[in-house]
Amino acid sequence: MNIEKLDLAYDECRESGKFIPADYVDKDLAGSLYKQAKSDWEEVLEFEKAREKKTTNYSKLFSNRYDVMRMLIHALAIFDKIKPSDHKCIGAHLCAKHPEFEFDWETLETMRLLRNGVQYRGQGVTEEVWKSYKLKFEIYAKSLFSFVEKKLKQPS
């Protein structure tokens, strides 16, 4: 898997107009995404308890966790007055403009590419890949929940 450098990805997204500016911070939408992600995360964890030890294809587990993260990344972009046009660009924005979040671009981009392989090419996720990303998902998701929650509590 070939991951392009963050600065190149960010520049490509900017130059192609994929950072769509929003007129205002839609705090209601960010709050809805946060609540949905919270609910989905609880379901993801319950689903994993039931399925993780019984499966040999970890694609659904992987995609479920990725989709929760994607909602939270979208919510954070709202606070920067950016509308996401695609997952790559919104991830590049998050990593380039928010180093304080300490997300690793290569990890985030690899997660996206693996999930896209599942969604668009029918590729499976092996137990080895699942185990190597499961904890990363947990760390990133917990951080994203925390960052979005703090933004939602700030006065408008």
pLDDT in tens, 16-27: 999 999 999 999
User: Percent helix, strand and coil across the chain, each rounded to 5?
Assistant: 75, 5, 25
Tens of pLDDT, residues 36-74: 999 999 999 999 999 999 998 899 999 999 999 999 999
Ranges of each domain in the chain: 6-153
- Does pTM top 0.85 for this prediction? yes
CATH number for region 6-153: 1.20.120.330
By residue count, the chain amounts to: 156
